[in-house]
Structure 1
Amino acid sequence: EEKKSLEVPVMLAISNPVPWNATKNPYLYQVKVSIRTEDGQTDEMVQPLGLRTVSVDPGRGFVLNGKTMQIKGVSRHQDRKGKGWALSPEDEEQDIRLIADMGADGLRTGHYPASTNIYNLCDRTGLIVWSEVSNVNLVRDTPEFRENNRFQAREMIYQHWNHPSICMWGIFNEIGHQPEASTKGVDMEAELIELNKFVKETDPTRMTVGATNQPGRKKLNNIPDHIAFNSYPGWYGGGPETMKGNLNGFIRDHASRGIAISEYGHGASIGMHENPPKRPSPTGFWHPEEWQAHAHEINYKCIKERPEVWGSFVWNMFDFGSAARFEGENPGINDKGLVTYDRKTPKDAYFFYKANWSPKPTVYITSRRFAERTEKTVPVKVYSNASSVKLSVNGKAVGSARPDELKRAVWPEVALKPGVNTITATATIGGKTYTDSCKWTLKPGKEGEKGSERYQDPSIKKYK
């Protein structure tokens, strides 16, 4: 029996349309399509519809419905402890809830498309999505690769193009310069140029983006509509403050199109602690939680100050499996997540972003898991979006501090007594009182040089 396709154009008029406006108002319409046969059989499909305009202003940022903003984003790998990729809808809902509760308004699906359920959740939550095709590290110059590349891009676009949350299609991530490119005349950029053209023709309504870790590759980096950079100052390369110079260079080289930071981040174990935090070896075992938080503070300050950066996406929202890694607390895990692999523990850096990004009242004592102390006087840092925070130790007032521009309230020298100390932070926000507390045990002179202390959770067993 010959199959026939029929296109039936329908014009819809919506009076006083309400725009889909990201987290401010992720307003959704629904489009219902029904087909009925003469003998009464029906088929029906319901699709989301969000009305919005998006663009990038090179000097002023991402433009949603005519208003500029800087996307406050995260990247997500979907695997989780004990499940791999076999997630339930409830698991996916928890992931998006953790992202939204932190105050993020952007999500990059590195390095593959997400499930329909994830995009549905992003539509409803108001996350601006960068959905990515699986072009990572290398692009092959073979007919099979090219055919598979088109197939994957077409499937991603056709399956998901009705989601208003998806504002851009990612076409590559960290494409390296293949050794055979110079010796065998392989033009690896040619395939990406063709892929970009294919994506634009398949869906003319969305911008294309790419994530690069090679700023000097001008031909590669100019292929998509907008290029973004994977940059890790403070983890790889220079100190965290060198993000400023990195941004200056990226912006200078792409002034006509603006730039984004598609990845930045630092590893951390919730069971490793250090005061003051020193920069660890990325490939080493020791990844203290304090360094991650400190480096994110400095990185983000640099990003926030440059409106030409139309968005940034933390690498990564969650710890994730990475078979080749032998670093940090667990082998085979990339520990750059703001939340642990099992999703049970948001790290200190998570609350740094929550205090800066979310309107929800936040009062959070950092280094709370730094359970055993050897120094009699220690710094206390609280992340809070209150105008003032009060600190007390063992019920005795220490004093008030005003959070700075990065929502950090700091008491540089707080005295502890031998034994268990209860640290309590209190703030009034919107007429309500919010409190956070933790316990630190002082064991004076146990170890460490003067002015330096470390603590490792006893349950962590070193594997190398």
Structure 2
Amino acid sequence: MGTIRFYLLVLLGIACSFINTHAIIPSTEKIRLNDGWEFIRQDMANAWEAVRPVRVGQPEMVPFWTKVTLPHCFNAEDAVDPNVNYYQGPGWYRTSISVDNPYQAGRVLLEFEGAGQKTDVYVYTKHVGTHVGGYDSWNVDITEAVEAFKKTDVCLERYDGRIPIVIRCDNSRDTEMIPSDMSDFNLYGGLYRYVNLVYTPSISFGQILISSSTDSKGQVGSVRIKTYLYAPQDFPRDKTTLNVVIKAPDGKEIYSNQKSDDLKLTMESDEITIRKPMLWDVDSPMLYTYEMTLNVNGETVRAIERFGFRHTEFREKGPFYLNGKRLLLRGTHRHEDHAGVAAALTEEMMVEEMMQIKRMGANFIRLGHYQQSDIILRLCDELGILVWEEIPWCRGGLGGERYKTQARQMLTNMILQHHNHPSIILWGMGNENDWPGDFETFDKEMIRSFMKELHDLSHKLDPSRMTAIRRCEFCKDIIDVYSPSIWAGWYSRSFPDYYLMAKEGMDGTSRFLHAEWGGDSHAGRHMESDYQGAGNAAKNGDWSESYIVRLFDWHLKEQENMPWLTGAAFWTFKDFSTPLRPENPIPYVNQKGVVERDGTPKESYYVFQSYWSKEPMIHIYGHSRPVRWGEANEKKEVLVYSNCTEVELFLNGVSQGVRKRNSQDYPAAGLRWNVIYNKGTANALKAVGVNNGKVYSDEIVQSYVTEKWGKPVKLNLTATVLCKDTVLIKAELKDLNGTPCLDSQDYIEFSGIGNGILLQNLGTAGGSKRVQASNGRASIKVSRGANLNSPFYILAKSGTLYSNQLSLFDSDGGISSVSVK
């Protein structure tokens, strides 16, 4: 009875107040409030402390407000600081805004595209809204509070007519909230997505749900639109008109309608039929546009939504079909996390990241493990990337009623807010729900019961899409698509076992999709062995790029020979911060990405490109490998990853032969050579590929070392000027004879003092003050401070070894070395 009652409340809420506080506002009248904010990372007694005036002779009790720009995350640095636990607690924001609503008797709303994790909103000291959950969009109507404040003396005397806004965000630990703190990612705090000021007339759009479908052959498309209006007060129905236009992807108007009578707060259109629609596809993502214009007493407000026509099918014990044709889902995963900003990515940063994913050749992405920015979904629509999006019910077990209520609400919000995106094909109910720890009791039957409730709720809210989970064997019969845990060559067995493990996974469930596979790699670390990782490579392996390219290579060539495979998504596209991995080579960073946390590609990125990308590419493995080692005259393997039909390799200008690409000729699809390097000198490698008569090439230079080295006893620090204000610092471990220790993985720590900024806490191999060596080396950058006449002193240590000390940024802009006694 409780579940049925909840469904009724959800449906009632959509038509009434729920849609007003939890919808993405489909208005074109939005103003991003990025500038003019101040922030303090601590709690305060109340909102009054954020707005009270500073009196002469009586300094403010909390003076440490800092100016920030939104989006802003208050864990931008400490999430990867090797010396601290990341901050979990309250943080306060304040600003003042001009409010000038162009609509007579209109409404003023603040829209939050996402804020972590509990948020309270104030107009001056008036509490106007609360939200729980860090990943869905929500809004607060501040109309009455703004009008009331404008009438006060404080408004004119202290704020010159502007409206003070105060916001408290809190990411404190709370086991009765999702996601769990046991999740392998940070529960960030702050206004880390955009905050918008929205103006609407007295009646406007609350939410627009578009249901579009087509037959498997794409001959006939049908559309139904459900429109919810937002009208806190009664509206003049005789003076209100609604105009509707649908445009094809080529901009041609294919449908129009006007409604001027019998407008209701909830309206559902008749079925609209479109013959031979332009289909949305991963290679041709055709998007239709639905435009609505509401005219109220001569004032208009517009809403624009996009949608697409596509037919999807997950066949039982078989592959995935898009628009009637088999499509192998070639996928990855994404967290909202980036060097220097944590979760506070700008739209420009999101665009670049998604373009990188598309250039890699991916056609599928799992958004782990929470609802992500609507900007990401828009980009997936535009780029042709299919999506599995999920709620953050991740690890820890199952809490009480408050816990369940939040999970239901987050699922409801995710489905309704992202319903119109044609890129979404799966709604995720959870991840690793077989992982106990947050509660004294771990009851599998209770988890099964709640999983079934979420599955049923998902199908009620959106009958057109399937549900999915990853790794919870005792729930796999409940949902539609299941992914078991298969980490061949990393957490279990060796990667040549992958086919067998995947086949066992497919045989054990009705619809199988392989989410999460791969392994960690430390950028810049390379080894000379071709070790295949028997056993637990996560624990016993070298975490080198040399190993991980072979693991990925093997999986990708195997996936081409699985006619029953729906698809697979490797974990993960980009390195990201996690509080659960302090001992990693880069502390607090999950290093399973094919790009670093700042987006710099690792070698493995190009392995995927060579299999997936349709754009011609060629890449010699080893761009981040300046030195190779071995015996004199020993043949060394050179790998070239390319999708060209044939490739010729040159060493020091001499051809090493031509190889033809064959995806089943492991490794590197047959594009490999055994060559003899010149000892000690620079060896120039050049690969030339041919694709459809066009020539593509890549070049690198590597030295070759034959000297043997002993234990590290010296740590040498050098500096290279990158530009007038930035210096690259390199630390290198050497033995007693001064020979570089090329296999050393010792930790190296950087420190500095004076007129400079150590570019640390980025969570990258070259942006951490404590990092494991890559082939006996580590680096970091230093930026000049404000005082041009004062130096910056920097040194490094590794265990008990101390480096020489460098003095940077002298008055003449030079660099001098000062030895440490």
> Structure 2 length as normaliser, TM-score?
0.53
Indicate conservation of the 8 Å contact 1:268/1:328, yes or no.
no
The counterpart of 1:251, out of the listed 485, 491, 506, is 506
Deviates more, 1:67-76 or 1:371-380: 371-380
Change (3 A) 1:8 1:253: closer
Tell me which residue corresponds to 1:7: 267
Change (3 A) 1:414 1:195: same
TM-aligned CA deviation for residue 283 of structure 1: 4.7
Tell me which residue corresponds to 2:477: 222
The counterpart of 2:553, out of the listed 297, 303, 317, is 297
Q: Which has the higher contact order (CA 8 A, sep 6+)?
A: 1
The counterpart of 2:359, out of the listed 88, 101, 106, is 101
Q: How does 1:149-188 map to 2 (within 5 A)?
A: 149-176=407-434, 178=436, 187-188=446-447
Indicate conservation of the 8 Å contact 2:646/2:691, yes or no.
no
TM-aligned CA deviation for residue 285 of structure 1: 9.2
Indicate conservation of the 8 Å contact 2:557/2:663, yes or no.
no
Q: Distance in 2 between matches of 1:249 and 1:285?
A: 25
Is residue 2:619 matched to residue 1:364? yes
Tell me which residue corresponds to 2:609: 354
Change (3 A) 1:150 1:184: closer
Is residue 2:708 matched to residue 1:389? no
Tell me which residue corresponds to 1:433: 695
Tell me which residue corresponds to 1:128: 386
Q: Distance in 2 between matches of 1:404 and 1:360?
A: 17
Tell me which residue corresponds to 1:458: 777
Determine which structure has more spread, i.e. the larger CA radius of gyration: 2
Q: Distance in 2 between matches of 1:126 and 1:384?
A: 23
Is residue 2:524 matched to residue 1:262? no
- Secondary structure at 1:234 match in 2: coil
Tell me which residue corresponds to 1:276: 529
The counterpart of 1:204, out of the listed 423, 439, 463, is 463
Indicate conservation of the 8 Å contact 1:380/1:412, yes or no.
yes
Change (3 A) 1:348 1:154: same
Indicate conservation of the 8 Å contact 1:321/1:333, yes or no.
yes
TM-aligned CA deviation for residue 270 of structure 1: 2.0
- For 1:355-375, what per-residue CA distance to the aligned partner results, in whole angstroms no more than 9, with x for missing partners? 111111111111232211222
- Secondary structure at 1:390 match in 2: strand
- For 1:232-257, what per-residue CA distance to the aligned partner results, in whole angstroms no more than 9, with x for missing partners? 11111111112222112112212xx2
Tell me which residue corresponds to 1:76: 334
User: Which letter maps to 2:699?
Assistant: S
Q: Distance in 2 between matches of 1:276 and 1:286?
A: 10
Change (3 A) 1:409 1:302: closer
- Secondary structure at 2:417 match in 1: helix
Deviates more, 1:325-334 or 1:147-156: 325-334
User: Which letter maps to 1:408?
Assistant: A
User: Which letter maps to 1:36?
Assistant: N
Change (3 A) 1:293 1:146: same
TM-aligned CA deviation for residue 50 of structure 1: 0.2
Question: Structure 2: which 5+ residue stretches go unaligned?
Answer: 1-231, 235-263, 711-741, 744-773, 780-795, 800-821
TM-aligned CA deviation for residue 304 of structure 1: 2.9
TM-aligned CA deviation for residue 14 of structure 1: 2.5
Change (3 A) 1:228 1:421: same
Tell me which residue corresponds to 1:306: 562
Q: Distance in 1 between matches of 2:279 and 2:778?
A: 51
Is residue 2:319 matched to residue 1:61? yes
- Secondary structure at 1:36 match in 2: strand
- Secondary structure at 2:650 match in 1: strand
Indicate conservation of the 8 Å contact 1:380/1:413, yes or no.
yes
Deviates more, 1:191-200 or 1:57-66: 57-66
Indicate conservation of the 8 Å contact 1:325/1:333, yes or no.
yes
Deviates more, 1:185-194 or 1:159-168: 185-194
RMSD: 2.3
User: Which letter maps to 1:352?
Assistant: V
Indicate conservation of the 8 Å contact 1:141/1:186, yes or no.
no
TM-aligned CA deviation for residue 15 of structure 1: 3.4
TM-aligned CA deviation for residue 314 of structure 1: 0.9
Change (3 A) 1:351 1:185: closer
- For 1:85-109, what per-residue CA distance to the aligned partner results, in whole angstroms no more than 9, with x for missing partners? 1001110001110010011100110
User: Which letter maps to 2:686?
Assistant: T
User: Which letter maps to 1:392?
Assistant: F
User: Which letter maps to 2:525?
Assistant: M
Percent identity of paired positions between Structure 1 and Structure 2: 25
Indicate conservation of the 8 Å contact 2:371/2:389, yes or no.
yes
- Secondary structure at 1:231 match in 2: coil
TM-aligned CA deviation for residue 458 of structure 1: 1.5
Tell me which residue corresponds to 1:89: 347
Change (3 A) 1:127 1:185: closer
Q: Distance in 1 between matches of 2:444 and 2:623?
A: 56
Indicate conservation of the 8 Å contact 1:269/1:335, yes or no.
yes
- For 1:253-273, what per-residue CA distance to the aligned partner results, in whole angstroms no more than 9, with x for missing partners? 12xx23111100111122211
Is residue 2:684 matched to residue 1:422? yes
- Secondary structure at 1:113 match in 2: coil
User: Which letter maps to 1:261?
Assistant: H
User: Which letter maps to 2:705?
Assistant: K
- For 1:12-70, what per-residue CA distance to the aligned partner results, in whole angstroms no more than 9, with x for missing partners? 33233111012x21000011122111x11222211111001111113441111111111
TM-aligned CA deviation for residue 168 of structure 1: 1.0
User: Which letter maps to 1:123?
Assistant: D
Tell me which residue corresponds to 2:309: 51
Deviates more, 1:299-308 or 1:117-126: 299-308
User: Which letter maps to 1:316?
Assistant: T
Q: Distance in 1 between matches of 2:327 and 2:511?
A: 13
Deviates more, 1:351-360 or 1:375-384: 375-384
- Secondary structure at 1:270 match in 2: coil
Tell me which residue corresponds to 2:52: none
User: Which letter maps to 1:5?
Assistant: L
Change (3 A) 1:12 1:421: same
Q: Distance in 1 between matches of 2:539 and 2:299?
A: 61
User: Which letter maps to 1:439?
Assistant: V
Q: Distance in 1 between matches of 2:280 and 2:485?
A: 29
- For 1:319-373, what per-residue CA distance to the aligned partner results, in whole angstroms no more than 9, with x for missing partners? 11012213443100011001111102x1222111111111111111112322112
Change (3 A) 1:463 1:118: farther
User: Which letter maps to 1:287?
Assistant: W
User: Which letter maps to 1:351?
Assistant: Y
How many aligned positions are there? 451
Question: Structure 1: which 5+ residue stretches go unaligned?
Answer: none
Indicate conservation of the 8 Å contact 1:138/1:178, yes or no.
yes
Tell me which residue corresponds to 1:116: 374
- Secondary structure at 1:174 match in 2: strand
Is residue 2:587 matched to residue 1:331? yes
- Secondary structure at 2:484 match in 1: strand
- For 1:180-203, what per-residue CA distance to the aligned partner results, in whole angstroms no more than 9, with x for missing partners? 797778622111110111111011
Change (3 A) 1:447 1:409: farther
Tell me which residue corresponds to 1:232: 487
Deviates more, 1:70-79 or 1:276-285: 276-285
Q: Distance in 1 between matches of 2:589 and 2:443?
A: 36
- Secondary structure at 2:678 match in 1: coil
Indicate conservation of the 8 Å contact 1:286/1:328, yes or no.
no
User: Which letter maps to 1:230?
Assistant: S
Q: Distance in 1 between matches of 2:442 and 2:431?
A: 23
> Structure 1 length as normaliser, TM-score?
0.91
